[in-house]
C-alpha cells in the first residue's frame, strides 16, 4: 500500500469518527477549514502551498502529508515543491528539517503513483 493510500484511509476513518461524535462547534471548524481552501482570489494550488508551508513551520506531519497530497492533485511541479520547502526552512529554521525530510519521502512516494 502506498504511503498516500495508507494516510488517506486513516485520515478519512478518523475524520468520520470525529464528525460522528462532534458537537456543533467542532463541525463548524471542520467546515471552515474546508471552505478556506476553495478557489477564490487565490488559486487552490496557492492555498495548498500556503497550507504546506504553514504546516512545515508548525511541524505537523499529518497536515504536511495532507497538503502534499492536495498539492500533487493540483498539479504542483517538483521545482515548486522545492521552493515551498525552502520558504518553510527559511521561516521556520533548522527545527523544520526532520519534517522536511519526511515531506521529501512522501513527495517522492506521491510521484511514483
Which residues, other chains included, contact 101 with Cβ-Cβ below 8 Å and sequence gap of 6+? none
Q: Find out whether 100 and 86 touch, Cβ atoms under 8 Å.
A: no
Q: Find out whether 49 and 86 touch, Cβ atoms under 8 Å.
A: no
Tens digits of per-residue pLDDT, 5-16?
Answer: 999 999 999 999
pTM score, two decimals?
A: 0.94
- Given this model, what pLDDT does residue 72 score? 97
**Does 85 score more than 90 pLDDT?**
yes
- Given this model, what pLDDT does residue 20 score? 98
**Does 73 score more than 80 pLDDT?**
yes
Tens digits of per-residue pLDDT, 22-70?
Answer: 999 999 999 999 999 999 999 999 999 999 999 999 999 999 999 999 9
- Given this model, what pLDDT does residue 37 score? 97
Backbone angles phi and psi of 29, in degrees to 5: -65, -45
1 pLDDT band (50/70/90 cuts)?
confident
113 pLDDT band (50/70/90 cuts)?
confident
Amino acid at each position: 500500500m502506498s504511503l498516500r493510500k495508507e494516510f488517506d484511509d486513516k485520515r478519512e476513518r478518523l475524520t468520520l469518527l470525529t464528525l460522528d461524535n462532534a458537537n456543533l462547534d467542532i463541525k463548524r471548524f471542520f467546515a471552515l477549514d474546508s471552505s478556506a481552501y476553495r478557489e477564490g482570489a487565490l488559486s487552490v494550488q496557492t492555498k495548498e502551498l500556503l497550507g504546506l508551508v504553514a504546516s512545515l513551520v508548525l511541524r505537523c506531519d499529518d497536515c504536511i502529508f495532507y497538503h502534499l497530497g492536495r498539492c500533487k492533485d493540483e498539479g504542483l511541479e517538483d521545482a515548486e515543491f522545492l521552493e515551498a520547502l525552502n520558504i518553510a526552512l527559511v521561516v521556520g529554521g533548522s527545527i523544520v528539517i526532520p519534517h522536511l525530510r519526511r515531506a521529501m519521502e512522501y513527495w517522492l512516494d506521491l510521484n511514483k503513483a
